[in-house]
Structure 1
Amino acid sequence: MESLSAVIIRLAPYILSMAAFLVLLEQITYLKKKRSVPGPNLVLPFIGNAIALVRKPTEFWDRQAEFAKSTELGFSVNYIIGRFIVFIRSTELSHKVFANVRKDAFHLIGHPFGKKLFGDHNLIYMLGQEHKELRRRIAPNFTPKALSTYIELQQHTMLKHLKSWMELPESGTKPFPIRLLCRDMNLETSQDVFVGPYLNGESRKRFEVDYNLFNVGLMKLPIDLPGFAFRNARLAVSRLIETLTVCAEESKTKMMSGEEPTCLVDFWMQDAVREIAAAAEAGEKPPPQTGSTEIGGHLFDFLFASQDASTSSLLWAVTLLDSHPEVLARVRKEVASIWSPEFGKLITADQLREMRYTDAVAREVIRYRAPATLVPHIAGEDFPLTETYTIPKGTIVFPSVYESSFQGFVDADRFDPDRFMEDRQEDRIYKRNYLAFGAGVHQCVGQRYAINQLVLFIAMFTSLFDFKRERSDGCDELAYVPTICPRDDCRVVLSLKCRGFPCLS
């Protein structure tokens, strides 16, 4: 009988020929889709440029932007793990994608391998009437009354964490990175605002562990096998949604008893309970999207949307205020005329609205360093992007919010909060280029909440602390973690500026 090694040796030429054929076929398929569009002419078999994307994402996307700038097309192409991708730099073409999110055109996916990670029943994957109906139910969560409730919760959590920063051994003497500190503060803020009293004790600790597993898996290759970060992240998402479902069910019980809302899920459940009661009275089934499991899944969507993006903006705010002392001085002057930590009271919703320049700073931070630089979509069908190029079905399309932020605006490469003040109104004049919160039917419904979070942080951080950034070579370069942050994790020296934290008493 022929040995196994002999069989392998005998079949080796055929195996190699088959592999060479598959590699050639893959390359021909890529070039057929690419046509004359800028992008690499050769790609590695099977994995394409995945290694470059994972190891050095900043360089990868900068290269795509350079490809897109090389012609007047406004977009470029590449190949990642068997998937053809299109990177869009042109603002108008990005709007074309955002305006055509529907079954027979583009599907928002949030992450290149999002459906594997989040499941396919999340808000970002909904289309048409189902999506429109869900957004109608979400809207009451962001009314002025609801936002005022969140403002108090946001400040209590922020102040608790800012105080803990001053208790670190390095505080006041040595620089230390604040990225993970901001991330932890934002995670707890989101927990307090979204599910308030329903997440406590052991469930809160497990929640934080699972969210960290999810966060790590976001930037890894989608290897769904035991022991790999992506599998750990996927399982963590399931547990996180289960936890949030329990919170939603407890909130439903509370709202059915007629109590006042104290967090976001309460505002959501308050309306859901009314609709459920009305349906029961009419002898009908509960309306869709009012079940605790469904709401628990959507709460996770909110968490994902708010957590890392907000962390990014807080870090860039500190970075940019440090490098622009004239802006910092104006912020401190405005905030001091309205609020001081020595008042012993929290910032009210009315006071927050008075901080117009600080609000302009927050908006400019978000424009200048848009946290979610890309908004991945997938082409559900062949789509004519331009008169000369049709995006093939199955392509992952990346409209670049970051690139749009530097188009149209006056002197766009300069950090200039005055562009958002009343006398210039660049937020209105160049509204089409301000895509940090998306556009079209999937535009971020919680953008006012996100801006409030940043304005509150800027007001309190600059009032409580004197701070100095430790500058080093490349410290301001972009790092994807997964949203963009300063490469050095924003290392600062902090010292207490005011006489204490009376707001916590």
Structure 2
Amino acid sequence: MYIYRKRGIVGPNWKTPFIGPFLESVNPDFEKYYAKWTSGPLSCVSVFHKFVVIASTRDYARKIFNAPAYVKPCVVDIAYKLLRPQNWVFLDGKAHVDYRKGLNGLFTRQALESYLPGQEEVFDHYFDAFIQTSKKNGMKPVPWMPDFRELLCAVSCRTFVGHYMTEAAVKKIADDFYLITAALELVNFPIIIPFTRTWYGKKAADMVLDEFAKCSAKSKVRMAAGGEPNCILDRWVVQMIASEKYRERLAAGVAPEDAGKPDIVLREFTDFEISMTLLTFLFASQDATSSACTWMFQIMADRPEFLDKIREEQLAVRDGDRNARMTLDMLDKMTYTRAIVKETLRYRPPVIMVPYMVKKDFKLSEDYTVPKGSMVIPTTYMALHDPEAYPNPESFDPDRWITGDAEKQTKNWLVFGTGPHYCLGQQYAQLNLMALIGKASLEVDWKHEITPLSEKIKVFATIFPQVRTVPFLA
């Protein structure tokens, strides 16, 4: 069956019965991924019962992203058990489009502005903590990626659910979320067996869902009492309340044109439905932003001339007041800081592959049709390292976004995907990283202990530096 499905595209000539290359994939090697991508525009492997086609070019990736009639996001089999089968990310067609419409209002400019005070509050707390940790350690280099993960988890939770969640719960989620990530890797066993990665991942996912459901219940009470919305959850609940009042007015006989129809009319979502959606937001953001943050801080430490330019710009947009609180107008003026963030996301894209399930035979090229039931995985890395779009792609060059034509390469900019499943929070993610590095440049300094492995890439859902040690200085 494997040879029949392979039909001439690049791939092993045979597979180990049942498990395929499972053992060599337990500790994924970026260099092997890269070799696979460069072996041909289409290649394949087979793991367990899944036949997997890998699409390496920009055009193939875009074709897959924009083919909802043929493919749907699938993550891995175990994802349905962790995220729940009724989760909105598994919806297809019109149901998925309609659900997304109800979420668009959570990422408007007004909404993004309202989230900034909470984000900055978290930054203040963790920068102080980072400095104290470094002092206690005698300013010796220590691994900081786990701390960045906790910081980004805290920022996400504050943005998603405000102060409804306790600091202890945030810390628990930050500590345990990697269990969910590990459970959702491609090469795990497709069933839950006690004391395996999938078992621990399921327990962690249950805990996160429970915490978010509690927050939802609290928000509904507070918003019904007229509270001011200050997080994504609040804004979603306010939309539901406005929609229900509109339906009540219609039921009372008020003419539609006089009933005050909201921009988006939503149904009532249960606490658990809201919880599932917030979990997918966290799943989409936690590992990706942790990756981008880790690379960005390392690169700025290794290239202090870039960090100096960020500091100069930060003081300029604040009119010399380094204590000025962040606003969206201020972020709009951060041309160089934005270039640093975009170049980080291009140079070391957090999401390097996006798995899809093929719903029906999909003619991907003139010579090859991906069989129904297969998995097809477009990579974003090659499009973002295409020398025709980004000259000297292995060089970190933020000026390509200012004086170059990188902004014009929209077809190659696949950091957040494209098509019907593009990332809803892409603007939020970039603004969050800009706010983070901008504030850090004014309040702390940091050094990086460079080693031969510093630029080597480790794959764990996303990509990280293999060595991640840095002390924070006041």
TM-score by length of 1: 0.85
Q: Residues 369, 112 of structure 1: CA spacing in aligned structure 2 closer, same or farther, 3 A cutoff? A: farther
Question: Could you tell me which residue of structure 2 aligns to residue 491 of structure 1?
Answer: 469
Q: CA deviation at 1:373?
A: 0.8
Matched, 1:240 2:240: no
For the 8 Å contact 2:179–2:197, the answer to whether it is kept is yes
Q: Identity rate of aligned residues, in percent?
A: 27
Q: What is the CA–CA distance in structure 1 between the aligned matches of 2:157 and 2:113, rounded to whole Å?
A: 17
The one-character-per-residue Cα deviations of 1:79-107 (angstroms, maximum 9, x if unpaired) are: 111211011111111111111123xx101
Q: Residues 216, 391 of structure 1: CA spacing in aligned structure 2 closer, same or farther, 3 A cutoff? A: closer
For the 8 Å contact 1:151–1:452, the answer to whether it is kept is no
Q: What is the CA–CA distance in structure 1 between the aligned matches of 2:74 and 2:320, rounded to whole Å?
A: 42
Q: SS at 1:107's partner residue?
A: strand
Aligned with residue 99 of structure 1, among 56, 63, 66: 66
Matched, 1:350 2:322: no
Aligned with residue 176 of structure 1, among 127, 142, 145: 142
Q: What is the CA–CA distance in structure 2 between the aligned matches of 1:40 and 1:306, rounded to whole Å?
A: 34
Q: What is the CA–CA distance in structure 2 between the aligned matches of 1:354 and 1:171, rounded to whole Å?
A: 37
For the 8 Å contact 1:406–1:412, the answer to whether it is kept is yes
The one-letter amino acid paired with 1:353 is D
Q: What is the CA–CA distance in structure 2 between the aligned matches of 1:287 and 1:329, rounded to whole Å?
A: 47
Q: CA deviation at 1:152?
A: 1.4
Question: Could you tell me which residue of structure 2 aligns to residue 296 of structure 1?
Answer: 275
The one-letter amino acid paired with 2:34 is D
Aligned with residue 340 of structure 2, among 356, 361, 365: 361
- Unmatched 5+ stretches in structure 2: 253-264
Q: What is the CA–CA distance in structure 2 between the aligned matches of 1:255 and 1:227, rounded to whole Å?
A: 41
Q: What is the CA–CA distance in structure 2 between the aligned matches of 1:463 and 1:207, rounded to whole Å?
A: 29
Q: CA deviation at 1:206?
A: 4.9
Q: SS at 1:492's partner residue?
A: coil
Matched, 1:134 2:93: no
Q: What is the CA–CA distance in structure 2 between the aligned matches of 1:217 and 1:226, rounded to whole Å?
A: 12
The one-letter amino acid paired with 1:160 is H
Question: Could you tell me which residue of structure 2 aligns to residue 320 of structure 1?
Answer: 299
Q: Residues 380, 78 of structure 1: CA spacing in aligned structure 2 closer, same or farther, 3 A cutoff? A: same
Matched, 1:34 2:9: no
Q: SS at 1:77's partner residue?
A: strand
Aligned with residue 244 of structure 2, among 264, 269, 276: 276
Q: SS at 1:236's partner residue?
A: helix
Q: What is the CA–CA distance in structure 2 between the aligned matches of 1:401 and 1:381, rounded to whole Å?
A: 23
Question: Could you tell me which residue of structure 2 aligns to residue 54 of structure 1?
Answer: 26
Q: What is the CA–CA distance in structure 2 between the aligned matches of 1:483 and 1:37, rounded to whole Å?
A: 26
For the 8 Å contact 1:75–1:88, the answer to whether it is kept is yes
For the 8 Å contact 1:276–1:290, the answer to whether it is kept is no
- Of residues 363-372 and 411-420 in structure 1, the stretch that sits farther from structure 2 once superposed is 411-420
For the 8 Å contact 1:134–1:289, the answer to whether it is kept is no
The one-character-per-residue Cα deviations of 1:280-324 (angstroms, maximum 9, x if unpaired) are: 44459x954633321211111111111111010011111222333
Q: What is the CA–CA distance in structure 1 between the aligned matches of 2:330 and 2:2, rounded to whole Å?
A: 56
Q: Residues 309, 247 of structure 1: CA spacing in aligned structure 2 closer, same or farther, 3 A cutoff? A: same
Matched, 1:250 2:218: yes
Question: Could you tell me which residue of structure 1 aligns to residue 257 of structure 2?
Answer: none
- Of residues 375-384 and 219-228 in structure 1, the stretch that sits farther from structure 2 once superposed is 219-228
Question: Could you tell me which residue of structure 2 aligns to residue 261 of structure 1?
Answer: 229
Alignment of 1:47-446 (within 5 A): 47-68=19-40, 74-102=41-69, 105-111=70-76, 113-168=78-133, 169=135, 173-200=139-166, 203-204=169-170, 206-208=172-174, 210-219=176-185, 221-222=188-189, 223-283=191-251, 288=267, 290-339=269-318, 343-407=322-386, 408-421=389-402, 423-427=403-407, 429-446=408-425
For the 8 Å contact 1:85–1:395, the answer to whether it is kept is yes
For the 8 Å contact 1:165–1:171, the answer to whether it is kept is no
For the 8 Å contact 1:341–1:463, the answer to whether it is kept is no
Q: What is the CA–CA distance in structure 2 between the aligned matches of 1:341 and 1:190, rounded to whole Å?
A: 29
Q: CA deviation at 1:121?
A: 2.0
For the 8 Å contact 1:374–1:400, the answer to whether it is kept is yes
The one-letter amino acid paired with 2:470 is V
Q: CA deviation at 1:167?
A: 0.6
Q: CA deviation at 1:65?
A: 1.4
- Of residues 461-470 and 359-368 in structure 1, the stretch that sits farther from structure 2 once superposed is 461-470
Q: What is the CA–CA distance in structure 1 between the aligned matches of 2:169 and 2:313, rounded to whole Å?
A: 41
Q: CA deviation at 1:173?
A: 2.6
Q: What is the CA–CA distance in structure 2 between the aligned matches of 1:47 and 1:424, rounded to whole Å?
A: 47
The one-letter amino acid paired with 1:187 is C
Aligned residues: 457
- Of residues 293-302 and 201-210 in structure 1, the stretch that sits farther from structure 2 once superposed is 201-210
Q: CA deviation at 1:352?
A: 1.6
Q: What is the CA–CA distance in structure 1 between the aligned matches of 2:12 and 2:101, rounded to whole Å?
A: 44
For the 8 Å contact 2:188–2:198, the answer to whether it is kept is yes
TM-score by length of 2: 0.91
The one-character-per-residue Cα deviations of 1:182-213 (angstroms, maximum 9, x if unpaired) are: 00111111111100121126654554455343
The one-letter amino acid paired with 2:213 is T
Alignment root-mean-square deviation, CA: 2.2
For the 8 Å contact 2:45–2:51, the answer to whether it is kept is yes
Question: Could you tell me which residue of structure 2 aligns to residue 17 of structure 1?
Answer: none
Q: CA deviation at 1:252?
A: 1.8
Q: What is the CA–CA distance in structure 2 between the aligned matches of 1:416 and 1:482, rounded to whole Å?
A: 26
Q: Residues 242, 279 of structure 1: CA spacing in aligned structure 2 closer, same or farther, 3 A cutoff? A: farther
Q: CA deviation at 1:424?
A: 3.1
For the 8 Å contact 1:149–1:263, the answer to whether it is kept is yes
The one-letter amino acid paired with 2:209 is I
The one-letter amino acid paired with 1:64 is K
The one-letter amino acid paired with 2:240 is A
Q: Residues 398, 340 of structure 1: CA spacing in aligned structure 2 closer, same or farther, 3 A cutoff? A: farther
Q: What is the CA–CA distance in structure 2 between the aligned matches of 1:457 and 1:333, rounded to whole Å?
A: 15
Q: What is the CA–CA distance in structure 2 between the aligned matches of 1:66 and 1:360, rounded to whole Å?
A: 28
Q: CA deviation at 1:232?
A: 1.9
Aligned with residue 456 of structure 2, among 466, 477, 480: 477
Q: What is the CA–CA distance in structure 2 between the aligned matches of 1:172 and 1:459, rounded to whole Å?
A: 26
For the 8 Å contact 2:154–2:170, the answer to whether it is kept is no
Q: SS at 2:357's partner residue?
A: strand
Q: Residues 360, 274 of structure 1: CA spacing in aligned structure 2 closer, same or farther, 3 A cutoff? A: same
For the 8 Å contact 1:358–1:459, the answer to whether it is kept is yes
The one-letter amino acid paired with 1:395 is S
